[in-house]
Structure 1
């Protein structure tokens, strides 16, 4: 068990994050399930099993990120997989020309700066892994070719997350850390709403990117294991 991969998933008390934890645990990973509410993190971890360790984490809080890094260093000595899943503000009520920029800034704190900050905090531990993987859970709503006038906070921040993915992939190539963005598609979650496909199907693409073999793709944007346009 000590050689089992260590995987960290943010925003994981429900939806795609929770299902990603479930699938990684089923593959034998030691999963660190994080959420802003510690009680929700603990309840979610209990639903999966003893291989899942719950931790409170607000991705916008630098102190939280540093505390997580210290705990993981002491507990495991490394991180093999980081799944940046936490996201807010699927703002279907807004249009870009009239958007409340305070909402956009708040979304950016979680959807862009949160993952960026966490990568920086956990990078020394990812470098201790022989098979480091970073997966940024993105969305086709952030693809340039598909940008519309709606959901401006969500779309712009996912666009920025895609850019961060490409930059990190190039910067960390010498560390052999694979960095990819994954769109899980329209999934029936609290954020996505009803009518989407099963959560397990959306999470499967995230898990695929988290478990890529050495020499696998990096700096890509994928849905269902296939590259999609930026």
Structure 2
């Protein structure tokens, strides 16, 4: 059984999920990295080191979710944190008139129902440890580009799910939601070949596009005892873009 606090991070093979797993392992957590791409997830866990364990996870499949939580229980005997990061990250950009029901449903099943299933089956372990949940939403819960209805609906739903669950599970479990803005999750090789422009960075009030480490830092705080008075809240981590008025001149 683990003496370290244990956190399950979904969608952890790459991008924001990997950044969160890396940060938590560095902070002294044992991180269970769940992902549909088991091979890449194992490679990612090996890069982090012995405090990371990769596991195959399909957040849309309740049997898969149950199996993962059973394995966490058997291997570690505890769960102190859950980060619901797995998502279809492409907003879509398809007119709602041509959006097929199965496409709409795929977004809901992964981005929203997946978080529900993880919370449902993780809560007994989290209650026992007085743990915390962090849901990873998107600034698109609040603002949109055209033709992103399915993605925006799931992220808006995740915000509502967060505050409802926080009321239902308190005081044993805290639940918060982070809404990232533009986070450069491209592989380092791609970033070197196709660097972001000065204009990309300058449009943000903080002067830069975000990185997975920015989201990981806020996640680590919300999972920690230092955030013990915070629950049911949604946090923008977007470089200030949701507060900036933009009008065509």
Residues 1:166 and 2:163 aligned together: yes
Specify whether residues 225 and 150 from structure 1 end up closer, same or farther in structure 2 by C-alpha distance, changes over 3 A only. closer
Bigger radius of gyration = 2
- Equivalent residue, structure 2, for 1:141: 140
Q: Secondary structure at the match of 1:8?
A: strand
Specify whether residues 89 and 104 from structure 1 end up closer, same or farther in structure 2 by C-alpha distance, changes over 3 A only. farther
Q: Secondary structure at the match of 1:110?
A: helix
* TM-score, length basis structure 2: 0.82
Specify whether residues 225 and 148 from structure 1 end up closer, same or farther in structure 2 by C-alpha distance, changes over 3 A only. closer
Instruction: Kindly report which structure 2 residues correspond to 1:205-220, keeping only aligned pairs within 5 A, or say none.
Output: 205-213=218-226, 215-220=228-233
Specify whether residues 215 and 172 from structure 1 end up closer, same or farther in structure 2 by C-alpha distance, changes over 3 A only. same
Distance 1:225 1:135 in 2: 17
The Cα of 1:189 is off from its aligned counterpart by 1.6
Instruction: Kindly report which structure 2 residues correspond to 1:98-117, keeping only aligned pairs within 5 A, or say none.
Output: 98-117=98-117
Per-residue CA deviations over 1:32-63 (Å, capped at 9, x if unaligned) read: 01111221111010010000011100001111
Paired residue total: 224
Distance 2:220 2:64 in 1: 25
Distance 2:138 2:121 in 1: 24
- Equivalent residue, structure 2, for 1:62: 62
The Cα of 1:220 is off from its aligned counterpart by 0.3
- Equivalent residue, structure 1, for 2:148: 151
- Equivalent residue, structure 2, for 1:45: 45
Residues 1:185 and 2:207 aligned together: no
Distance 1:72 1:13 in 2: 18
Specify whether residues 137 and 186 from structure 1 end up closer, same or farther in structure 2 by C-alpha distance, changes over 3 A only. same
Q: Is the 8 A contact 1:182 1:209 kept in 2?
A: no
* TM-score, length basis structure 1: 0.88
CA RMSD of aligned residues (A): 2.5
The Cα of 1:148 is off from its aligned counterpart by 5.1
Gaps of 5+ in 1: none
Q: Which moved more, 1:162-171 or 1:2-11?
A: 2-11
Distance 2:9 2:152 in 1: 22
Q: Secondary structure at the match of 2:180?
A: coil
Q: Is the 8 A contact 1:185 1:223 kept in 2?
A: yes
Distance 1:111 1:21 in 2: 19
Gaps of 5+ in 2: 197-208, 244-249
The Cα of 1:224 is off from its aligned counterpart by 4.2
Q: Is the 8 A contact 1:89 1:153 kept in 2?
A: no
Q: Is the 8 A contact 1:205 1:223 kept in 2?
A: no
Distance 1:60 1:119 in 2: 13
Distance 2:44 2:68 in 1: 18
